[in-house]
């Protein structure tokens, strides 16, 4: 199957058996192909099946573009380079060392997920250094027949890159444009530790707005065409969550209580915006509220807003 350069093919990775939670975007001009986001190693079977269904032979995939190294976005990279013999993994310079040696990343994740590591993320294998390509801010390159620009967009993660396609006026956003599952009108921010930075994220949102893009391709999940409204909504919610979580801690609530409070608040907003059956569980799956609160706690302590 040949895809026109301006039409990315969405591969639903069916994370933990759920539809429309994590997307990988296939760019294919019929000669060479690229993937934006590898997803976790636990969804490797879905990704390879998606490539086969799209008529893409493993040898034709030349690039794997990850927006950042969190396991739901790049965890399968080390396994994929062994299945896709001509593929190079593209990543921000600060993320590259953690792909070639994921030991620190895995140690940090294991403290959070414990016995659920393998079930959620699968085996995270290193990417050989010779299979990595470091991308700088603004760097232009061709992937799957498109000219893309790497855009440094920190805030969610300090090494985050979005990919701008000026020909189609679209951006592959990773997590910098938040989470918005199909059928819901609002965007919510994933705020995990350790790199959450609201000011930097706001600058990144401004950068995306300045592109005047027509489409945002979200890893979680799919296309958003109301770009300005989506990004404005995300920024407002990011700072509203900050205020809610900080106030709750200052009132003496503990972390589980704050996480429950945030989830209840989010679900009320999501329900008002068209949340269908099962969607609240899918939001929790792709961005757990305990994790979101942990990100805010680290952010508050860095800024001296909560005691260390």
Same domain, 31 and 172: yes
In a domain, 276, yes or no: yes
pLDDT for 44: 97
In a domain, 29, yes or no: yes
Spans of the chain, pLDDT less than 70: 1-6, 274-278, 308
pLDDT for 166: 97
Please list the alpha-helical segments (H only) found in 158-253.
Answer: 198-210, 227-250
From 235, 266, 287, give the residue that closes a domain.
Answer: 235
Q: List all residues 6 or more positions away from 45 whose beta carbon is below 8 Å from its beta carbon.
A: none
Q: List all residues 6 or more positions away from 83 whose beta carbon is below 8 Å from its beta carbon.
A: 44, 48, 58
pLDDT for 278: 67
- The pLDDT tens digits for 65-87 are 999 999 999 999 999 999 999 99
Q: 272 exposed, middle or buried (CB, 10 Å; 0-12, 13-18, 19+)?
A: exposed
pLDDT for 303: 94
Q: pLDDT over 70 for what percent of the chain?
A: 96
Q: pLDDT over 90 for what percent of the chain?
A: 84
Same domain, 296 and 147: no
pLDDT for 160: 98
Domain that holds residue 131: 9-235
Same domain, 226 and 261: no
């Amino acid at each position: 199957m040949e895809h026109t350069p301006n039409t990315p093919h969405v591969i639903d990775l069916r994370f933990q058996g759920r539809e429309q939670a994590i997307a990988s975007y296939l760019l294919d001009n019929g000669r060479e192909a690229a993937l934006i986001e590898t997803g976790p190693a636990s969804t490797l079977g879905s990704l390879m099946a998606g490539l086969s269904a799209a008529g893409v032979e493993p040898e034709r995939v030349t690039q794997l573009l990850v927006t950042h190294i969190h396991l739901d976005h790049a965890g399968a990279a080390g396994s994929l380079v062994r299945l896709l013999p001509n593929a190079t993994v593209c990543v921000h310079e600060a993320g590259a060392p953690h792909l070639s040696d994921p030991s620190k990343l895995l140690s940090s994740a294991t403290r959070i997920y414990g016995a659920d590591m393998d079930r959620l993320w699968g085996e995270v294998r290193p990417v050989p250094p010779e299979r990595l390509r470091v991308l700088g801010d603004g760097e232009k390159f061709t992937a799957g027949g498109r000219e893309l620009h790497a855009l440094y967009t920190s805030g969610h993660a300090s090494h985050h890159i979005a990919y701008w396609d000026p020909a189609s006026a679209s951006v592959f956003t990773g997590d910098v444009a938040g989470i918005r599952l199909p059928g819901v009108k609002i965007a919510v921010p994933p705020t995990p530790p350790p790199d959450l930075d609201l000011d930097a994220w706001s600058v990144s949102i401004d950068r995306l707005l300045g592109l005047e893009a027509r489409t945002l391709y979200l890893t979680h999940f799919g296309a958003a065409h109301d770009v300005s409204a989506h990004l404005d909504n995300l920024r407002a919610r990011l700072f509203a969550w900050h205020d809610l979580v900080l106030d709750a801690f200052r009132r003496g609530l503990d972390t589980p209580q704050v996480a429950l409070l945030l989830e209840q608040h989010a679900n009320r907003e999501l329900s008002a915006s068209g949340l269908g059956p099962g969607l609240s569980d899918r939001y929790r799956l792709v961005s757990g509220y305990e994790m979101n609160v942990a990100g805010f706690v680290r952010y508050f302590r860095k800024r001296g807003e909560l005691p260390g």
